[in-house]
Amino acid sequence: MFYKRQNDGYKQALEGISQKTLVYGKETLLTEFKLSEGSLLPKHNHPHEQTGYLVSGRILLSIGDEEFEAEPGDSWCIPANAEHGALILEDSVAVEIFSPVRADYLPETKSR
């Protein structure tokens, strides 16, 4: 599967947090997040391992009892079922890989 960059197709997940699945396979899924300054991703967990990379901006990420101020070029890995959340300190863009594939993040149409 290939993906050619497009500026549309983002879904609002929460206030100030938009996401778009870019590509996915049998075991992994790649999603881009646009995050607005001041937004909060409440603490939550899910059965997917989540590996991320901050492209731009700045976020305060919490995983379990640890906090990490991520800046462009920083990355993280969140184990399956670990409680995590984030405070968006600046307008940011992050990309994250989920494994196994998150069915709730699959595009409505699979043709590209």
CATH of the domain at 35: 2.60.120.10
> Which is more confidently placed, 1 or 63?
63
Please report whether residue 55 resides in a domain: yes
Please report whether residue 10 resides in a domain: no
Please report whether residue 54 resides in a domain: yes
Please report whether residue 1 resides in a domain: no
> Is the pLDDT score of 89 beyond 70?
yes
104 φ/ψ angles, rounded to the nearest 5 degrees: -70, -10
49 φ/ψ angles, rounded to the nearest 5 degrees: -70, 140
Least trusted range by pLDDT, from 28-32, 91-95, 103-107: 103-107
> Is the pLDDT score of 7 beyond 90?
no
Please report whether residue 78 resides in a domain: yes
- The dihedral over CA atoms of 87, 32, 104, 65, expressed in degrees to the nearest 10, equals -30
Please report whether residue 14 resides in a domain: no
Please report whether residue 11 resides in a domain: no
pTM given for the model: 0.90
> Is the pLDDT score of 32 beyond 60?
yes
Peptide bond into 79 cis (omega under 30): no
CA pair distance 50, 98, nearest whole angstrom? 5
6: which strand partners?
A: none
- Token readout for 44 is 């939550």
Please report whether residue 111 resides in a domain: no
pLDDT tens for residues 35-80?
Answer: 999 999 999 999 999 999 999 999 999 999 999 999 999 999 999 9
Which residue reads 């196994």 in tokens?
100
- pLDDT given for residue 112 in this prediction: 41
Please count the structural domains in the chain: 1
Rounded mean pLDDT of 73-93? 98
Domain that holds residue 79: 20-100
The sign of the CA dihedral 88, 7, 13, 104 is negative
The sign of the CA dihedral 83, 101, 9, 11 is negative
The pLDDT mean for the chain works out to 94
